[in-house]
Amino acid sequence: MISTPRRIVLSLLSAGLLSCAAPCTLLMSGCARVRIPEPPPPVEKDYARPLPAGMPALRKITDPARLPDFRAAFDADREGLLTALNLSIGWFAKPSSRKFFPVQDITHERAAASLAAFREILTSAHSGDELQARILAGFDVYESVGCDDAGTVLFTGYYTPIFDARLAPTAEYRWPLYKAPPDLVKDANGECVGRKLPDGTLEKSYYTRAEIDQGAVKGQELVYLKDRFEAFVCTVEGSAQLRLPDGSLFKAGYQANNGKNYTSVGLALVDAGLLPKEQLTLSNMIQFFRQNPEKMDEFLPRNERYVFFQRTDTAPMGCLGVPVTERCSIATDKSLFPRGCLAFVDTRAPLATASGEPAKARWRHFALDQDSGGAIRAAGRADIYVGIGDQAGRIAGWMLDEGRLYYLFLK
């Protein structure tokens, strides 16, 4: 998933008051000069800040003044929300889902019952006011502690790109996506734990992106793209739909990863002074690398994380093994947050316009926590799935705002 974790710098301005050391009179030439304090340096929020040991990621809201207003989401994409909700309900019905609970005081039974109860409210409430009243009467609302213990969460977006591809390499199509190699070893949760050596022992590390690009897993090619950065985008987003010469779509879905940490290439471009922070969007990164292809050797290997793919006939899948739903599925750190559960997002997000350029507005929406991501590793980060294709990519590229993340569970 592209999930591109990017930093926002917030300036804290300190106002200096110019005053005289003594009252001014007509006999005085002027006031004594008073030094205006220098403003403090910019403060950078660490959205990826790990929680202190033993600190839970969610806290129950006990102050009614801190409860969110759910009414704004009453008319928002009812069909998509019900689709995502039913997929989570189906996942909870599988015995394998039980191993991920409890999370804090949230049991498997309570989480599953919460989804069923919310579905009944969603399908029977006649107004936003009724929705709000029934939720507050029947549910406890939890909030993420965020990156600062004040609930601040940075929201980004990810999508499924559509690129041209070939099943066999040509002079033009020569950048492969790889399937998971047989020597990659995963644990029970599907996480990479290392590489199985020829003698059967385990090396507790796998190849980096640079080593993979240099042929470390040669023979595992699945499909070929003509643009190196497009292939890179696929390995960040975690899924792709690839257009073959006959017009059919080859659906590439997530299969595994190499266990390395995610590093933002976009942020590296900003730090190097090659792309202004305010212009850090996916479309601008694509344009930059097309104009400066020699820079890919320098910057792309900095993100050591690599995703392996498999051909699939399904819609893009999340970490639960169920399809993700446009604007109704989110990705969070699954070591902190309860998977499959009902969330509520309050942030700003770009929306499509007639001109094709996204415009931002406040966005309050129910969503299901159905995915994870290499860049989503803290209580202060969340990723919203925004769909398939170029327009979704433009919206995902513009999605970068703070907000609040809530979860709902039956009392």
**Residue 233, Ramachandran bin (φ over 0: left; ψ between -120 and 50: alpha; else beta):** alpha
Q: What pLDDT does 278 receive?
A: 74
In the structure, what pLDDT confidence band is assigned to residue 32 with cuts at 50, 70 and 90?
very low
**Residue 259, Ramachandran bin (φ over 0: left; ψ between -120 and 50: alpha; else beta):** left
- The ranges assigned to domains in the chain are 58-158+316-410, 162-311
Q: What is the pLDDT of residues 2-28, one digit of tens each?
A: 333 333 333 322 233 223 333 333 233
Residue whose C-alpha is closest to residue 191's, from 329, 341, 310, 308: 308
Q: What pLDDT does 14 receive?
A: 28
Whether the pTM exceeds 0.85: the reply is no
**Residue 60 pLDDT more than 90?**
yes
CATH number of the 58-158+316-410 domain:
2.40.40.10
**Intrachain domains 58-158+316-410 and 162-311 with the same fold:** no
Q: What pLDDT does 5 receive?
A: 36
Nearest-angstrom CA–CA distance, 230 and 58:
37
Q: What is the pLDDT of residues 172-221, one digit of tens each?
A: 999 999 999 999 999 988 889 999 999 999 999 999 999 999 999 999 99
Nearest-angstrom CA–CA distance, 390 and 233:
12
Residue 184 near residue 197, CB atoms below 8 Å: no
Q: What pLDDT does 134 receive?
A: 98
> How large a percentage of the chain has pLDDT more than 90?
73
Instruction: Identify which has the larger pLDDT, 352 or 283.
Output: 283
Class of 162-311 per CATH?
mainly beta
Q: What is the pLDDT of residues 230-281, one digit of tens each?
A: 999 999 999 999 999 999 999 999 999 999 999 999 989 999 999 987 778 7
Instruction: Count CB-CB contacts under 10 A for residue 75.
Output: 9
Q: What is the pLDDT of residues 101-141, one digit of tens each?
A: 999 999 999 999 999 999 999 999 999 999 999 999 999 99
Strand pairing report for 329-331 and 381-388:
antiparallel
Return mean pLDDT, the chain: 88
Strand pairing report for 162-166 and 240-243:
parallel
**Residue 165 pLDDT more than 80?**
yes
